[in-house]
A and B are shown apart, each in its own frame.
Chain A
């Protein structure tokens, strides 16, 4: 069957759709709205505009003619598309959009390009070697199933040439003339042999810690949840084996499950250093820093007992040096301007060169008045800051 003409056109239509997807994705990433959508089953669905060839047409048709046995006043139908977004332009736009499923892998690749997030680095010296088996050696003994036939025959040929055995002619049934034969003996046999190869480690430990005091309200927790999910996805891109640990603290810290991490609220006061103490204890036995790439993400609203800030910085300096953790990121989500906040103290320490490059800080300004978009953009910016993206791609694009 000859190729059909429609196939070419169909393919170019698919390309048009592909272009639309890229555009839509770009828009979504730019506004940060993507951080509210969590991909399920490795797929993320985003809305794209319906594809059509626009002509000059009339707008919404508010009346018309029908037929049937009715009397004036009867309801003959309902426009479902209106629903909640009445008279709202945004509502109309969304009604026209169709949802398209995308692979998370593609989304992440796109994020890498668009947000210019740098690749994460592993620790320089203390990488643990991971052992893998590769069949890249030859031995004289071994099981028959691993016999290397080509090498064996080559060996037999070499041997027979050196002894002159090769010149003897043999009569073989099926052949008219006598032929030369190569016959391997046991000492010619060669076997494949495995060797242990060491690969650099790809273990990562992500520690999420958060302040659980009463001032961490629902909307702040949502920000934590959104950011944590995407950071998680990003880090998993680089490491094969990822362990996660969740630490929650008020006056004292405790390790909790993921569910509880997002749900727990209403603790008493706040001692930020308690979380650091708990985490640093884990490094002794459970997660030795020389075997793990460690990423710590600490979320707070900045309120801390004043004298605790000094202790916090001291602990950061002593226990979370560059050799111990790859990244220590402090995200401060605040609704009002706070003096003497944790971030202020840490920033001061960074300026004074007390802390290393692995400590990063960012803030997510959040107020009741700020719109969803502003919030999403703030999250986007924070993620870029703590993951160490350079330049301001987004601001340029606007």
Chain B
């Protein structure tokens, strides 16, 4: 869904049009909504080599999410010119590199990585906006050295984050000006550029036996609440937990009789003992602590994400305009106030989507690929079908729910290259929950742009 339209510039001598003012208001409302969207947790970690298929390493996700590995694969829908990677690298003499690779690109960009925060300046020539790009982080020498890599998060930002215009006061009794109105238009558009980012799906657990695996990821603090939508059942005295920023934020001990938990856990981040600062990335951990002899649990994590409270208290109600309405500076001033709030929280974060592989030593060799979940926002889904170690291509699907836990499926084309799928052709409406399976990545984008050819 996109509800942003280009506003014709205001000029001195123009007649104030109610439709145009409403258009500006609608644009700002849309951008405000984008700011208030969910932020999914990045699926942190690394993959290890678990054998070779000829000269191709067979990648596996370690049983424990904190274990370091040699690979980290992710995809991003290109929007920005900088890549920020936080990598935990053990210095064992085996350097780590990152490639930024349009699928099939014969000359991808390569960058060396260091332990900690890496900000990589990309050459964006030849990329179109929202083009799917593969990011591979790997050890330069894949054999002979210990696993040394663990990636906290990857996102793209922009070195040219749009500058913010000075916003006018719109005081009644003072002369109107085109510059005032154009400042509203410009500020709204700059905010849109920041907030209208691709949406990389979150990670969900399926109903496999879930023993000492758990999940570790990082999310950037933007909102007040962290929501965990979970269905869990386990053996007596087993314990399911959610830790945020290194602190226990929620826990559930299974009572006798295998009574499970089914519901939404909403953690007020400001209530944590150590509150993660807005703009900082913090650790999210979920897991199951079994008691001896009671190791088995079934856990669905449907989704976990940061999101704002329901009231959006920081934003004032904006009035739509009608033919004949007084051109009231106070009403225009509400837009200024809301833009100021957006500016305070403005950022350019285009988070990557990690590719999952089979988990090593899983009792059922349960595939991790395609464990993506998200609520639909944008119209287009960027994805590519997953190919397993034997070259077999998975059948991508969308599993969608219409308000309850029951899921229905919708098949996606088994695309053999990064593709865009029109979600309008599915039953999944904006705001509905969906899982995307059988894919290397699943990223929603607002538009599919290739530019007008020259």
Tell whether A pairs with B: no
Task: Give the A-binding residues of B (Cβ under 8 A).
Answer: none
Task: Give the B-binding residues of A (Cβ under 8 A).
Answer: none
